[in-house]
Amino acid sequence: DAGVIQSPRHEVTEMGQEVTLRCKPISGHDYLFWYRQTMMRGLELLIYFNNNVPIDDSGMPEDRFSAKMPNASFSTLKIQPSEPRDSAVYFCASSRSSGTEEKQYFGPGTRLTVT
Amino acid sequence: GQQLNQSPQSMFIQEGEDVSMNCTSSSIFNTWLWYKQDPGEGPVLLIALYKAGELTSNGRLTAQFGITRKDSFLNISASIPSDVGIYFCAGLLSGSARQLTFGSGTQLTVLP
């Protein structure tokens, strides 16, 4: 079975440019999560969706960050305008609602470098 | 926010040795997950625990959900070079919906 798919794997952009990260969750999963990983702060949850609806975006650092999930098989995380401090690895993860059990499966990540 | 204290931060061991690492918190968790992350890749789920006292194995890996529900342990037996990586614990707080709290990771190095 295909796991979580993310693209691009690497992105290098200049400060001020718009960046769009893409994610395809595992088929049948109804939860989708966006995380950011840095050395200083570790893994941080940015936002998560349930059935394509944003549930909690309290982790989104600023208004420059936005996320959408137009359908069950696709989500985007957009940064506009990007800044050097946004450089990090961004992960998408998905899970399937199963009572109280939780298993989140991660994609390979997008390594973002903003110069 | 809620923190998970994961220790040790790093370990250097000889191939064939057993490894233990743990996560503790001052809060009660309903779920504990253990992940492994290889360089340049995303975390891979190793073991999931859902009940206090639960002991679950996955090959040479064994994890336990602490009786107090505030801690969890991961043991790796007879380590091999491919065990190298960063191991993360993650917990689901009671009442926190689907939001996992992650530990800071244990960097494991296996020496030949």
pLDDT score of A98? 76
- On the question of pLDDT at A109 being above 90, the answer is yes
Asked if A102 and B98 come within 8 Å (Cβ–Cβ), the reply is yes
State yes or no: cis peptide before B112, omega within 30 of 0: no
* Mean local confidence (pLDDT), A50-58: 94
Quote the CA–CA distance of B105 and B96 in Å, as a whole number: 21
Please write the tens of the pLDDT for every residue from B82-112.
999 999 999 988 776 788 899 999 999 999 8
Label residue A102 by pLDDT band (50, 70, 90).
Answer: confident
Which residue ranges of chain B lie beneath pLDDT 70?
Answer: 1-2, 96
pLDDT of residue A100: 66
What is the tens place of the pLDDT at every residue in A2-22? Answer: 899 999 999 999 999 999 999
Q: Convert the pLDDT of each residue in A57-100 to its tens digit.
A: 999 988 999 999 999 999 999 999 999 999 999 999 999 987 76
**B39 Cβ under 8 Å from any chain A Cβ:** no
Of chain B residues 42-81, which have a CB less than 8 A from chain A? Answer: 42-45, 48, 50
Residue numbers in B near A109 (CB within 8 A): 40-42
3-state SS track over B8-48: CCEEEEECCCCEEEEEECCCCEEEEEEEEECCCCCCEEEEE
Chain A contact present for B41, CB below 8 A: yes
pLDDT for res B97: 72
Q: How far are the Cα atoms of A44, B94, B103 from residue B2, in angstroms, in the given order?
A: 12, 12, 10
- Measured between CA atoms, how close is A105 to chain B, in angstroms? 7
